[in-house]
């Protein structure tokens, strides 16, 4: 029985791989089908899609996956009909076909089981396909060709294997790479031992010279004794001197032999170390290549994601991808998945305008999002995600930062437009006029930057109003090993990632100048801020180098836009570094990116250059305060909330959530009841349903905004209505947030309320 179960599991695993590859072919074919006007290409694509769905149906039948087989059979019938008729594929049909692909992907993630919910979704998809196949779909039926409740949104879930490769479990490759990387420690240890032996041989040679010198002095003493005593007339002391001199002579011979043996062992150790170093380097390089995947493996699902998001928002968008063939460490691609989804949504939600708005601005009705990947400096890649949309208004960013209390007004006024743009990466900053389940919380881009920096990368933004926005990502090709600069500050050693180091320099104390209360130096004609490492890292305070120490050493580093010099006590060496995480207990430590182990066995922290520059600019105490984000479970200040909901169950749930977080809650059964409470009481925020008797949530919001006394009162709409039109109406009437009940989560609600009222 166990053997049968094991075979069945292997069979399922094989089916997953085959089905995933066929799905990719079908999805890419559907996207091409939507764009082509060439009848011959249209015919070829239909033929390919027919064959792929036919094979998928047969494979699903082999593993008794009835749901996938049923959907694949309907797809096969659709493509057989299109193949026979030659008619062009309608938008309605394409929507259902993409839904079918998304549902099969969801089923593949849990192939051994299905649920009544997934069966219901499959039934709806098959029914829609049959209606469209029969040609009976008219205008009144089109509304049914949309996602059903419970269907999963189409997003990237995994990095697929490259074509023409041996199928091997990714976990096995990861294990091999990990072991190869661990051998780097052996290489560094061997280099340390080899260097120690060479130093020992040098010390021994130097000592032997002293020994030989002293031996010659002893021989002169022997000759003196012989001159003052005739042959055979030596006293007892003379005989002792002779025996000692014989010992010295024999020891000299032994030391010469020992010197040769040490030299031979040292030479062998050096040769072994060089051989081991070469083998480890080659093994590590080959192991890294084994887990290099083309960037296309991350991007292949984004055309469909962009298409779905654009349709949801009533926009027309083309996705252009360049340089997708460049290969990158699989772990970096996996780490980029969520940031890319955030950035892509940002482009479509905040950037690209609707067709009528673009035409009014003299643009093509179709917007364009461009993803470009390029290799940079051999061991880095540069990724740009750009849109030709509305751009980001720096004035709006400054206003939002001031309103949220994240920036003093005086400081905001003195900021350049480029500096203001960088504020979008701070938690709490959002240009969205309204909070929804997709945007507006001001967390997305802050999370994106954090993810990118965890990967050892850098993120920046450029934007021109009405022309578009471009996000720049600089990332390493590989994740775990890199060149590092080993330095000493006091008694502690640190490693600077060499990728962030511009140069090292020796500075005269007299060249240090103070500009706007900050120490600076001049390097290559450029004024560079100077920071004291001991102060920035919270180590013991070091006095300014002066007096007998005429010079001091600095390491000049830079992130995307800033350059800074840090003084250190010693610059030791550059070496390859194997990154070790700080463990689950310390997932994020300010100024540190991890740790490494030297050949001597000493553990040394690896510095986070971006953090280090921030800490130097804003000060270590302030920096630490900014790193502490409010927990969702913290007790809120005693604020008053009016909950408006006609369902007693939903009303009780909302009241319980808010009261457990420390808010004072009053409830109303509809909009009319809510207006009565608002006229007789004082509230800090309104949380309301939309679909209610007597006065719905939209009308209630409009009434509140029209009342001079209540016009600034924050309003959160929590509703089952999730269409684009409903969201737009929520924005139009003046709601601050729009939370869809289908994706409702109590932490989301508390986060939104806390952001709006504290």
DSSP letter string, 422-460: GGGGSTT----SSB-SSS-SS-HHHHHHHHHHHTT-EEE
The distance of Cα 19 from the centroid of its chain, to the nearest Å, equals: 29
State the pLDDT at residue 327: 86
State the pLDDT at residue 386: 93
Give the pLDDT band (50/70/90) at residue 118: low
Tell which of 224, 258, 290 closes a domain: 290
Would you say residue 163 has pLDDT above 80?
no
Same domain, 582 and 437: no
**6 vs 194, more confident:** 194
Would you say residue 7 has pLDDT above 60?
no
Same domain, 714 and 591: no
| Alpha carbons 587 and 496: distance in angstroms, whole number | 19
State the pLDDT at residue 155: 46
| Alpha carbons 428 and 461: distance in angstroms, whole number | 17
Q: Which has the minimum average pLDDT: 188-197, 356-365, 495-504?
A: 188-197
Same domain, 647 and 605: no
Would you say residue 387 has pLDDT above 90?
yes
Within a domain: 166: no
**151 vs 218, more confident:** 218
544-574 confidence digits (pLDDT tens): 544 556 788 999 988 766 788 999 988 998 8
Q: What mean pLDDT comes out for the span 660-671?
A: 87
State the pLDDT at residue 494: 92
Give the pLDDT band (50/70/90) at residue 203: confident
Q: What mean pLDDT comes out for the span 515-541?
A: 82
State the pLDDT at residue 358: 92
State the pLDDT at residue 134: 66
State the pLDDT at residue 732: 81
Q: What mean pLDDT comes out for the span 725-729?
A: 76
Rg over alpha carbons for the chain, rounded to the nearest Å, is: 35
Tell which of 152, 185, 217 closes a domain: 152
How do strand 592-597 and strand 603-607 relate by DSSP bridges?
antiparallel
**% of the chain exceeding 90 in pLDDT:** 7
The CATH number linked to 87 is 1.20.120.160
Q: What mean pLDDT comes out for the span 155-181?
A: 62
Q: What mean pLDDT comes out for the span 532-536?
A: 84
Q: What residue spans of 509-590 are helical by DSSP H?
A: 533-536
Classify residue 611 as exposed, middle or buried by CB count within 10 Å of its CB (0-12, 13-18, 19+).
buried
The CATH number linked to 536 is 2.40.50.180
Would you say residue 138 has pLDDT above 50?
no
Q: Which has the minimum average pLDDT: 59-68, 603-612, 625-634?
A: 625-634
Same domain, 611 and 493: yes
Give the pLDDT band (50/70/90) at residue 2: very low
Angle at 190 (CA atoms; ends 185, 195), nearest 5 degrees: 125
Q: What residues contact 177, with CB distance under 8 A and at least 6 apart?
A: 287, 288, 290, 291
The answer to whether the CB of 753 falls within 8 A of the CB of 716 is: yes
Same domain, 310 and 349: yes
Within a domain: 584: yes
Within a domain: 160: no
Same domain, 313 and 459: yes
State the pLDDT at residue 165: 54
Q: What residues contact 95, with CB distance under 8 A and at least 6 apart?
A: 145, 146, 311
| Alpha carbons 755 and 747: distance in angstroms, whole number | 12
The CATH number linked to 674 is 3.40.50.2300
Q: What mean pLDDT comes out for the span 597-625?
A: 72
Tell which of 290, 318, 350 closes a domain: 290
Q: Look up the domain containing 330 and give its range.
A: 299-476
Question: Which of 625, 667, 671 lies closest to 650, judged by CA?
Answer: 667
Would you say residue 644 has pLDDT above 80?
yes
Q: How high is the mean pLDDT of the chain?
A: 77
406-464 confidence digits (pLDDT tens): 677 777 777 788 878 878 877 656 655 555 544 544 456 777 887 887 787 888 888 88
Same domain, 429 and 489: no
Same domain, 553 and 607: yes
Question: Which residues of 330-467 form beta strands (DSSP E)?
Answer: 367-376, 380-387, 458-464
Structural domains of the chain, count: 5
**335 vs 228, more confident:** 335
Q: What are phi and psi of 661, to 5 degrees?
A: -90, 0
State the pLDDT at residue 623: 39
Would you say residue 24 has pLDDT above 60?
yes
Same domain, 211 and 326: no
Q: Which has the minimum average pLDDT: 135-139, 243-247, 475-479?
A: 135-139
Angle at 231 (CA atoms; ends 229, 237), nearest 5 degrees: 50
Give the pLDDT band (50/70/90) at residue 225: low
Same domain, 195 and 140: no
Within a domain: 547: yes
The answer to whether the CB of 470 falls within 8 A of the CB of 462 is: yes
The answer to whether the CB of 381 falls within 8 A of the CB of 475 is: yes
Q: Which has the minimum average pLDDT: 96-110, 134-148, 681-695?
A: 134-148
Give the pLDDT band (50/70/90) at residue 653: confident
Would you say residue 89 has pLDDT above 50?
yes
Within a domain: 315: yes
The CATH number linked to 310 is 3.30.565.10
**333 vs 653, more confident:** 333
State the pLDDT at residue 95: 83
Same domain, 725 and 576: no
Within a domain: 161: no
Within a domain: 240: yes
State the pLDDT at residue 752: 80
- 529 by DSSP, 3-state: which? strand
Q: Is this structure's pTM higher than 0.85?
A: no
Q: What is the dihedral of CA 596, 602, 608, 614, to 10 degrees?
A: 170
Q: What mean pLDDT comes out for the span 240-262?
A: 76
Q: What residues contact 52, with CB distance under 8 A and at least 6 apart?
A: 22, 25, 26, 29
State the pLDDT at residue 168: 67
Within a domain: 647: yes
Task: Please name the residue that has the structure tokens 């933004």.
Answer: 461
Would you say residue 731 has pLDDT above 50?
yes
**279 vs 672, more confident:** 672
Would you say residue 647 has pLDDT above 80?
no
State the pLDDT at residue 105: 81
Same domain, 278 and 304: no
| Alpha carbons 433 and 732: distance in angstroms, whole number | 10
């Amino acid at each position: 029985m166990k053997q049968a179960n094991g075979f069945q599991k292997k069979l399922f695993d094989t089916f997953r791989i085959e089905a995933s590859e066929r799905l990719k072919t079908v999805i890419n074919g559907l996207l091409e089908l939507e764009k082509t006007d060439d009848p011959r290409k249209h015919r070829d694509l239909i033929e390919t899609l027919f064959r792929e769905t036919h094979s998928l149906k047969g494979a699903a039948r082999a593993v008794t996956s009835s749901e996938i087989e049923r959907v694949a059979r309907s797809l096969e019938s659709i493509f057989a009909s299109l193949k026979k008729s030659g008619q062009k594929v309608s938008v309605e049909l394409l929507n259902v076909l993409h839904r079918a692909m998304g549902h099969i992907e969801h089923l593949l993630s849990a192939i051994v089981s299905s649920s009544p919910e997934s069966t219901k979704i499959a039934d709806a998809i098959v029914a829609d396909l049959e209606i469209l196949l029969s040609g009976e779909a008219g205008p009144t039926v089109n509304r049914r060709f949309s996602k059903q409740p419970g269907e999963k949104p189409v997003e990237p879930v995994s990095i697929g294997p490259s074509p023409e490769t041996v199928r091997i479990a990714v976990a096995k490759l990861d294990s091999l790479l990990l072991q190869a990387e661990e051998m780097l420690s052996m290489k560094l240890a061997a280099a340390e031992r080899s260097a120690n032996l060479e130093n020992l041989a040098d010390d021994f040679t130097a000592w032997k010279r002293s020994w030989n010198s002293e031996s010659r002095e002893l021989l002169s003493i022997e000759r003196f004794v012989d001159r003052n005593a005739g042959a055979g007339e030596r006293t007892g002391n003379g005989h002792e001197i002779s025996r000692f001199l014989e010992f010295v002579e024999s020891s000299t011979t032994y030391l010469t032999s020992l010197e040769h043996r040490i030299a031979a062992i040292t030479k062998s150790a050096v040769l072994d170390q060089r051989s081991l170093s070469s083998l480890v380097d080659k093994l590590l390089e080959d192991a890294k290549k084994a887990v290099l995947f083309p960037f296309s493996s991350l991007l292949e699902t984004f055309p469909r994601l962009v298409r779905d998001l654009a349709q949801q928002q009533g926009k027309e968008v083309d996705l252009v991808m360049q340089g997708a063939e460049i290969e990158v460490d699989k772990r970096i691609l996996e780490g980029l998945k969520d940031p890319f989804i955030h950035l892509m949504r940002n482009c479509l939600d905040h950037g690209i305008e609707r067709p009528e708005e673009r035409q009014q601005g003299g643009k093509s009705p179709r917007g364009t999002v461009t993803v470009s990947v390029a290799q940079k400096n051999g061991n880095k890649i540069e990724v740009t995600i750009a849109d030709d949309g509305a751009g980001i208004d720096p004035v709006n960013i400054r206003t939002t930062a001031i309103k949220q209390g994240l920036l003093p007004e005086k400081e905001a006024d003195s900021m350049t437009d480029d500096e203001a743009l960088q504020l979008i990466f701070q938690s709490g900053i959002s240009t969205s006029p309204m909070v929804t389940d997709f945007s507006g919380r001001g967390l997305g881009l802050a999370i994106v930057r954090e993810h990118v920096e965890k990967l050892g990368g850098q993120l920046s933004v450029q934007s021109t109003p009405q022309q578009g926005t471009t996000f720049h990502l600089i990332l390493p090709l590989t994740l775990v090993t890199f060149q590092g600069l080993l330095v000493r500050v006091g008694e502690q050693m640190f490693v600077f990632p060499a990728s962030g180091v511009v140069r090292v320099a020796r500075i005269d104390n007299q060249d240090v100048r103070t500009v706007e209360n900050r120490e600076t130096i001049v390097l290559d004609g450029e004024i560079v801020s100077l920071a004291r490492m001991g102060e920035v890292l919270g180590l013991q305070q070091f006095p300014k180098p002066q007096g007998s120490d005429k010079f001091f050493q600095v390491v000049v580093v830079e992130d995307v836009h800033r350059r800074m010099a840090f003084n250190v006590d010693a610059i030791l060496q550059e070496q390859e570094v194997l990154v070790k995480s700080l463990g689950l207990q310390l997932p994020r430590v300010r100024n540190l990116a991890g740790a490494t182990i030297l050949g001597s066995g000493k553990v040394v922290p690896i510095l986070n250059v971006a953090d280090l520059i921030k800490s130097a600019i804003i000060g270590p105490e302030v920096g630490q305060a900014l790193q502490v984000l409010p927990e969702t479970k913290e007790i809120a200040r005693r604020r008053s909330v009016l909950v408006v909901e006609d369902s007693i169950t939903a009303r009780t749930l909302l009241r319980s959530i808010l009261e457990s977080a420390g808010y004072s809650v009053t409830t109303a059964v509809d909009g009319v009841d809510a207006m009565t409470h608002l006229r007789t009481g004082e509230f800090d925020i309104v949380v309301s349903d939309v679909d209610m008797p007597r006065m719905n949530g939209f009308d209630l919001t409009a009434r509140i905004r029209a009342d001079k006394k209540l016009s600034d009162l924050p309003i959160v709409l929590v509703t089952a209505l999730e269409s684009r039109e409903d969201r737009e109406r929520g924005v139009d009437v003046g709601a601050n947030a729009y939370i869809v009940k289908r994706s409702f989560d109590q932490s989301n609600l508390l986060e939104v309320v806390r952001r709006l009222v504290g």
